[in-house]
Amino acid sequence: MTMNKQMIDKMGYDRSITMFSPDGRLLQVEYAKKTVRQGSTAIGIACKDGVVLVTDKRITSKLLVPEAIEKNFQVDDHIAVTAAGIISDARVLVDRAQVKAQQHLVTYDTKIDILSIVKDICDLKQVCTQSAGLRPFGVSLLVGGVEEDGTVKLFLTEPYGLYFQYKATVIGEGEAEVDAFLQKKYRSNMSVDDGLRLGLEAMKQFLKDDFNFDRVDAVVIRQSDKRFHKLDNDTLKSFMK
């Protein structure tokens, strides 16, 4: 009977985003984080001359068109985003970020800085952890790019609105394995080409026999031109030789 009462109490607390459980937890927020861990793997690497994003498109059917699956998004010429979790949630956040970037360009005639995009995304995520009738965004985003002064930055945004800056990180189902690989192999003096090789190697090590270039999506932004470049399969294969 006691066990049943505990289960009923827990169900009551996790039905409301605005209610803390007796042990100080927002259960809906924790569920959102678990959703991210079930999402397909996404890797971000900040290099000395640019940033690299490598993601798994997780093709679930031979009938799917691989090129139609989008996991990397362009916010502005110098900012890229990838996601793990509910990708439809990610699209809403990316659309908002794209509008903010364009508004900044029109208003100030200059490119928006990466941290402003990150903070705007996280502000909206945080509001959804304290408002009745809403649910948290079930997605984490990696936001990377090159600032106007050439500074390379990579940020991780959590579903509950917190953000961190990283040199290299991973989100999604391969988080534990790939993070251990990055901890071992990452070097601060890596070039974009080196970072791309590292990301592909990490993805291959995690996916093992399921790895193929059709399910990998990769973009780079280099210091030299500060522009979003999506890489095709032939280019990716050349880095794995």
End-to-end C-alpha distance for the chain, whole angstroms: 62
Residue 165, exposed/middle/buried by CB under 10 A (0-12, 13-18, 19+)? middle
pLDDT for 1 equals: 41
Tokens at 67, concatenated: 């090129």
pLDDT class for 206, splitting at 50, 70, 90? Answer: very high
> Which CATH architecture best describes the domain 25-238?
4-Layer Sandwich (3.60)
Q: Exposure string (b/e) for 133-146, b if CB count within 10 Å is 16 or more?
A: eeebbbbbbbbbbb
Task: Identify the bridge partners of residue 81 per DSSP, sorted by sequence position.
Answer: 73, 143
| Domain positions in the chain | 25-238
- The structure's pTM equals 0.91
Give me the chain's average pLDDT, please. 92
pLDDT at 10 over 70: no
pLDDT for 85 equals: 96
The rounded distance, in Å, linking the Cα atoms of 78 and 96 is 16
Task: Identify the bridge partners of residue 142 per DSSP, sorted by sequence position.
Answer: 82, 156
Q: Are the CB atoms for 167 and 46 separated by under 8 Å? A: yes
pLDDT class for 11, splitting at 50, 70, 90? Answer: low
The rounded distance, in Å, linking the Cα atoms of 42 and 132 is 31
pLDDT for 133 equals: 81
pLDDT at 16 over 80: no
Q: Give percent of the chain above pLDDT 70.
A: 94
pLDDT at 230 over 80: yes
Q: 10 Å Cβ neighbour count for 12?
A: 11
pLDDT at 87 over 80: yes
Q: pLDDT tens, 120-151?
A: 999 999 999 888 788 899 999 999 999 999 99
Q: Which residue has the higher pLDDT, 190 or 69?
A: 190
- Strands (DSSP E) found in 114-202: 139-146, 152-157, 163-165, 168-171
